[in-house]
Amino acid sequence: MAFVFTGFFPMGLVYLLAALLMKVEPPREPGNVAEWEFYNSYASSKGLALARLKRRFERLDRRARRLEDLVTAREYDWDRRLREG
């Protein structure tokens, strides 16, 4: 409440307005084309960037499940036993 009644109110308003209008800058320079593409998609649309990350995570999750299914399959265990014996 003190913020509204002091002289900081106009500067605070300008600060918030600038924060909303300024483009997000990367903390470090993107190293390759894929990183630049991700940065540009994030800067233009956070929802698009989050959807892209979700798709990538789902692909990695599917790959991990396939690998787990392969390693825990009975055939894998028998093959391993035959190679050892």
Residues 4-63: tens digit of each pLDDT: 666 677 777 788 888 778 776 767 788 889 888 878 877 777 788 788 889 999 999 999
Angle at which helices 46-72 and 74-84 cross, to 10°: 50
Residue spans per domain, the chain? 46-85
Cα 1 to chain centroid, rounded: 37
Query: How far apart are the C-alpha atoms of 49 and 36, rounded to whole Å?
Result: 12
Which tokens sit at 5?
């009644």
Predicted confidence at residue 49, as pLDDT, reads 78
